[in-house]
Amino acid sequence: MKIGFIGLGIMGKPMAGHLIAGGHEAYLNSRSGVPADLAAKGKPCANAKEVAQKADVVFLMLPDTPDVETVLFGENGVAEGLTKGKIVVDMSSISPIETKSFAKRINELGCKYLDAPVSGGEVGAKNAALTIMVGGDEETFAKVKPLFELMGKNITLVGGNGDGQTCKVANQIIVGGTIAIVAEALLFASKAGADPAKVRQALMGGFASSKILEVHGERMIKRTFDPGFRIELHLKDLSLAVTGARALAMSLPITAITQQLMNACAANNGAAWDHSATVRALEKLANFEVGQKSGSR
């Protein structure tokens, strides 16, 4: 199949690599340029329009809603290169409301649209183990599913256009809140004088066990905060959650607190830290760091 991939950053690069390794002819474009190793295997394009002209299925993996809108509908955008019957698959994490609008505009060109945000971070992208949450019609999903299977393992058609993005926002609510609570627990244990590494090990065998405790708990203990998934990107997702909640006339108090903790990190030059570094905001409040010996301050 002729595929296009636009957005070759931390996540997009390995995802595109898996599609190429699966034997598909790939047309590539990225704001920062096509990485040399992918350029050697695929076909770099000057702009999104050229990608859409040459590919049957066009994938997007971009930072935020305005980026997707520009790439789709801006000058030399995807929409200008589409012809009837082509498929656009947005794997970015963006606004569910705007996604429905984007899908309608692409459908009006005689093309199909799937929103297919992912979870699993850089590790999941590199290992082709992403969770992929899809919004769109069943027929288009069935056509694209073999391509999804080259990038992920848990692939679910959630519902119509926009429902994939809604599912991703729900995912980010859970992930953000769990990071914050794991941070609180390890900080509490550490300040009380217990070894946080052994506390984490013990908790991994019980009901409190989670992927966040396993992966991000270890990051907190070892102080390894290189992204991963940047705080600024998680803040964008939590903003979608809080804005959506307002539109639905409901409250997300835990999500709002998590958002403020991440805001505090961003205010302390931490926007590019991994989201596990949310623990640093709590450490400031406690005047204590996970792993520090109790009484050393």
List residues with catalytic annotation: 168
Count Cβ atoms within 10 A of the Cβ of residue 114 and give its class: 0-12 exposed, 13-18 middle, 19 or more buried: buried
Task: Report in angstroms the alpha-carbon separations of 231 from 6, 26, 189, 238, 281.
Answer: 23, 31, 24, 10, 12
152 touches 131 (CB < 8 A): yes
Angle at 264 between CA 261 and CA 268, to 5 degrees: 145
**Residue with token string 């290189």:** 226
Rounded to whole angstroms, how far apart are CA atoms 90 and 261? 29
DSSP labels for 32-46?
T---HHHHTTSEE-S
Locate 253 and state its tokens.
Answer: 């108090």
d(CA 185, CA 189): 6
